[in-house]
Amino acid sequence: MASPNIINVTESNFEYEVIKYSHTIPVIVDFWAEWCVPCKMLDPILRKLTIERSGDFRLAKVNVDENQSLAMRFNVSGIPAVKAFRDGNIVAQFSGVQPESKIREFLQELIPSHLDLTIEKGNSLLTAENWEESYRTFREAIEENPGHPAVLLGLAKCLLAKGLGVKARDILNSFPISPEFSTAEKLKPLAKALIWSGKVDRDTDLPIDATYHHALRLISLGNFPAAMDGILEVLRKDKNYRNGEAKQVILGLFEILGFQNPSTRQYQRELASVLF
């Protein structure tokens, strides 16, 4: 089966078809030769996966007998040799025949899946403080990938940003063991605080409690800077307020905003000046 994503490349067009093209999508270069039996075993696997992942990457075939300068340029000492280019550079490679399962793993690490891109989109929207759009992105992803830790984490962050502590708590309390687990644990105090704020009788508030309640309310209104200002005010009066909960809440807000967010960097410095 022919595919527009499988091409033969020579010395004359390598720069354009591989180097420049790899700035658009990854290009997998297969260095091979007619006499090479292992090459003929690898070829159908590469072609199959290229067609299967239609448009995710390009497969460029280089005959080393006809393009010896390219083989020398990229230090091809044995064939088949497979080299992956992205943004003009070699980012991954392997040599010899590999089973299809291993090549799938190779491609998975090299080329983000649709789910990976969705998670990246949702997290970018979180950083931009677009809670609603981020929530919709993660909500759609969880319907297709129930139980996926990165999606669950993104969804919990969105719920907390919207002030929905109970729903976030339900996700966090049953969070799967995964690389995202430690971050999920850091968000639990924020969920707990939002739930407490919604239940407590505010008529009995002390002034410091009123400040804390107002800060938590500002979170649900999407005004994180004002909320963090309020929590810092609480911490100036009592660094261990509610057994350290206020400190954990602001750290949870940092996790939601992301550590590249200018507000996070600003309030990290302010938090340090208050606590230390």
Look at residue 59 in the predicted model and tell me its pLDDT: 97
6-110 has CATH 3.60.120.10 classification: no
Alpha-carbon span 164 to 265, nearest angstrom? 25
Q: Supply the pLDDT for residue 53.
A: 85
Burial 16-45 (b: 16+ CB within 10 A, else e): ebbeebbeeebbbbbbbeeebeebeebbeb
The pLDDT assigned to 110 comes to: 85
pLDDT of 201 reads 59
Residue 197 has what pLDDT?
A: 85
Q: What is the pTM of this model?
A: 0.69
Positions annotated as catalytic residues are: 36, 39
Output the pLDDT for position 1.
Answer: 53
Q: How many CA atoms lie within 13 A of 16 on its CB side?
A: 5
Extents of the domains making up the chain: 6-110, 115-275
Q: Return d(Cα 256, Cα 242) in angstroms, integer.
A: 21
Could you tell me which residues come within 8 angstroms of residue 82 by beta carbon, excluding any fewer than 6 positions away? 28, 29, 30, 31, 42, 46, 93, 94, 95
Tell me the pLDDT of the chain (276 aa) as tens digits. Answer: 567 899 999 999 999 999 999 999 999 999 999 999 999 999 999 999 999 888 889 999 999 999 999 999 999 999 999 999 999 999 999 999 999 999 999 998 888 777 888 998 999 999 888 999 999 999 999 998 899 999 999 999 999 999 999 999 999 999 999 999 999 999 999 999 999 887 765 555 688 988 999 999 999 888 999 999 999 999 999 999 999 999 999 999 999 998 888 889 999 999 999 988
